[in-house]
Amino acid sequence: MTNHDDKLVFSVPEAAARLQISRGLCYSLVKQKVLPSVKLGARRLVIPKLALEEFLNRQGGVGVD
């Protein structure tokens, strides 16, 4: 299993799991540009770890570690 401390980016399903929200809500936040994402190639969306941490800080949460 991958150590999340080493990951720089998360897939949308991984980010949703880390945030304890549904995949659909996570995709919605990305679409609304509330949660920043990076498109890799033609189809792959990833969410940088730093973007997750900043999102949580804006929501009054703590880091993703």
Position 30 scores a pLDDT of: 96
Q: What global pTM score does this model have?
A: 0.80
pLDDT tens, residue by residue, 15-63:
999 999 999 999 999 999 999 999 999 999 999 999 999 999 988 765 5
Distant-in-sequence, close-in-space partners of 36: CB < 8 Å, separation ≥ 6: 30, 47, 48, 51, 54, 55
What integer is the mean pLDDT of 7-12? 96
